[in-house]
Amino acid sequence: MGSRREKMEMIIPSDFKYLGAVDAAVQDLARELSCAQRWINDFSAALIEACSNAIEHGNKLSKNKMVRVVVNLNGQQIVARVHDEGDGFDYKKYLSETSPPDPLSERGRGILIMKAFTDRLKYSARPEGGTCLELVKNCDAEAVPKAAAE
């Protein structure tokens, strides 16, 4: 189990209706790991947010642009990469943000949530244009084994 390797790749149109398919696929794949359902749900929530940002802010809901999602299981670590075809953005500014989000706005919390739900977030500008976001989560000893999960 510890050396298990799996890879999944999905290419979805820039429409929120495809987020459910990403969630279902990552849930199935992550069940290969002996981790609590809560841990899988946290990772999936972060991945769905990454895809939402790629669809909305990156590809701007364009029918001509796609979002590519690659998920790798490496032993007890899960790594996902979300690629969009947008214009890129100043992600360093958002990653280094230390002040709390505007309490009067319902938006602006996605990157904070992804940071909280993963062990590592890494943005990069794609040479061909667009943004790639890598999300890493370690199913470590603190995660409750599946058999003990509620």
What residues are paired with 82 via a beta bridge? 69, 133
Question: How many other CB atoms are found less than 10 A from the CB of residue 72?
Answer: 16
**Contact between 89 and ligand ATP per CB under 6 A:** yes
> From the CB of 47, what's the least distance to ligand ATP, in Å?
13
Closer CB to Mg ion, 70 or 112, in the complex: 112
**Contact between 134 and ligand ATP per CB under 6 A:** no
**Contact between 110 and Mg ion per CB under 5 A:** yes
The span of 18-26, 34-42, 54-62, 135-143 binding ligand ATP (CB under 6 A) equals: 54-62
The alpha carbon dihedral of 88, 22, 56, 95 has a sign of negative
**Contact between 54 and ligand ATP per CB under 6 A:** yes
The span of 9-17, 37-45, 83-91, 136-144 binding ligand ATP (CB under 6 A) equals: 83-91
| Residue 35: contacted member of Mg ion, ligand ATP, none (CB under 5 to 8 Å, by partner type) | none
**Sequence-separated (6 or more) residues with CB below 8 Å from residue 25:** 8, 10, 71
What residues are paired with 8 via a beta bridge? 71
Pairwise CA distance, residues 49 & 119, whole Å: 15
> From the CB of 59, what's the least distance to ligand ATP, in Å?
8
**Contact between 18 and ligand ATP per CB under 6 A:** no
| Residue 59: contacted member of Mg ion, ligand ATP, none (CB under 5 to 8 Å, by partner type) | none
**Residues in 43-62 that interact with Mg ion by CB under 5 A:** 53
Residue indicated by tokens 């062990």? 119
Q: Which of 46, 79, 76, 75 is nearest to 140 (CA)?
A: 76
Q: Which of 76, 78, 84, 63 is nearest to 131 (CA)?
A: 84
